[in-house]
Amino acid sequence: MRRRLKLLGMSFRPTRAWALPLVLAGLLAGCAQDGGSGVQSAKLSMVQGRGKLVCGVDGKLPGFSFVGPDGRYTGLDVDVCQAMAAAIFGDASKVEFRDLNSSERFAALASGEVDLLSRNTTMTLSRDAPGGNALSFAPTTFYDGQGMMVPVASGITTLKALAGKPICVESGTTTELNLADRMREIGVAYTPLKFQTGDQTYAAYLGGRCIAVTSDRSQLAAKRSSFPNPEAHTLLKDVMSKEPLTPATTNADPAWADAVRWTVNALIQAEELGITKANITSKVAQAKANPNQPDLRRFLGVEGDFGKQLGLPADFVVKIISAVGNYGEIFDRNVGPASKLKLDRGVNNQWTKGGLMYSPPFR
């Protein structure tokens, strides 16, 4: 005879109850504790084992990350992901892209769903600090500033003229906070309309619900290029903030963050040295033939062990430049003269040409 028994108000058949902890234990098998990372990056080993890099991007921002009609991702942010894949695998195609909205991005990175966040993300103190979002930022890949876009027909030319008007903004962005700060400074009351995704934000703006939309100036220019009637919209002159858009990893794995940092530096350094996708092969041949160019030889991995120190192949720089070109090429192709956005290099030029792009030495 079997008897029913009550435990915590539930009735169990004694024999069946034995199975419960077994099932739960089985479920738990996958949730082992996180191991600490040693010299070798745990994340890098994991990515190598998986055979591909998972990269978080916006996916809907022309010039930075955008899915073309052929289903391929292109853009400045995308090229950073591909440079990283080239550095690890020697193959820029070994990337899986994850579209993330601004609210999801940090959780996706913190939980390990993406290895690298290359999604027009502004570097700030609170996002960097261990007590905040605890990210680890690579070098900035695009120096931007916040702007405001209005329809030309509205006749609005200053921020003050936006008093009492609804302004569309994407929630969970630095732009949302900068908007509140700037408007408070100039003492203008306004109505913020917040949307979870860029698509909804721009749909509401185009639908005429708000008189202005605010975001990074590059993003506004990019979105405008995909509007049905781009000439009908204009950017106000005011630059409301500094927005250094920067790839990020988590604080948890400094060795992985280093690999990302020096991959981005390699893009910038290659431009400074005049190494391009077109001449990389001849540069390597030149470095191999000429022992009197130690800088070039070290940079291209002909001598020294810089790659190994980062846990990457010795010739990771060669792989990167062969795959995506140097920073200048990436800029021109995606957001510069060769693109629809036609943005000026401006502060994004090399430091030797009066810009902010500066790679620390490879030595």
Partner 1 sequence: MRDPQALLDPLDRPPWWRDRRVIPWLGQGVVALLLLVLIAFLLGNLVHNLTTRGMLLSWRWLGQPAGFDISETLVPFSAEMPYWRGLVAGLANTLRAVLTGLVGATLLGTLAGMASFSRNGLLRGLTRTYVETIRNIPLLLQLIFWYFVVFLSLPNGTAALQIPGVVLAKSGLYLAGFGQGMHWSLPQLVNGVWQAPLRLSVEFAALISGLIIYSGAFIAEVVRGGIASVPKGQWEAATSLGMGWFATLRHVVLPQALRVIVPGLNTQYISLAKNSSLAVAVGFTDLYSVAETTLNQTGRALEVYLLLLGAYLAMDLVISLLMNGLNRFVQIRER
- Give the Cα separation of 256 and 136 in Å (integer): 10
Q: What residues contact residue 154 under an 8 Å CB cut-off, 6+ apart?
A: 211, 212
Closer to partner 1 by Cβ: residue 210 or 324: 210
Number of other CB atoms surrounding residue 180 within 10 Å: 13
| Least distance in angstroms from the C-beta of 209 to partner 1 | 5
| Beta carbon nearer to partner 1, 196 or 276 | 196
304 torsion bin: left (phi>0), alpha (psi -120 to 50), beta (else): left
Report in angstroms how near the CB of residue 76 gets to partner 1 at its nearest: 23
Of 212, 217, 210, the closest CA to residue 241 belongs to 217
Smallest gap from Cβ 23 to partner 1, in A, equals: 11
Minimum gap (Å) between residue 192 Cβ and partner 1: 5
Binding site for partner 1 (CB under 8 A): 1, 3, 5, 7, 12, 14-15, 17-18, 20-21, 24-25, 28, 31, 33-34, 36, 102-103, 106-107, 110, 126-127, 130-134, 166, 168, 171-173, 176-177, 179-181, 183-184, 190-196, 200, 203-204, 207-209, 251-252
For residue 150, the minimal CB distance to partner 1 (Å) is 16
Toward partner 1, which CB reaches closer, 31 or 39? 31
Cα–Cα dist 237/224, whole Å: 16
Map residue 184 onto helix, strand or coil: helix
Write the single-letter amino acid at 169: V
Taking the complex as a whole, how short is the minimal distance between the CB of residue 5 and partner 1, in angstroms? 5
Nearer CB in complex with partner 1: 151/192: 192
Q: Minimum CB separation from partner 1 for residue 156, in Å?
A: 14
Tokens found for residue 255: 């060795």
Given a contact cutoff of 8 angstroms between Cβ atoms, the answer to whether 175 and 167 are in contact is no
State the DSSP string of 44-93. HHHHHHHTSEEEEE-SEETTTEEE-TTS-EESHHHHHHHHHHHHHHS-TT
Closest to 334 (Cα-Cα) out of 218, 224, 166: 218
Question: Shortest distance, CB of residue 120 to partner 1, whole angstroms?
Answer: 15
Distance from C-alpha of 96 to C-alpha of 205, rounded to nearest angstrom: 32
Residue 39 CA to residue 18 CA, distance in Å, equals 44
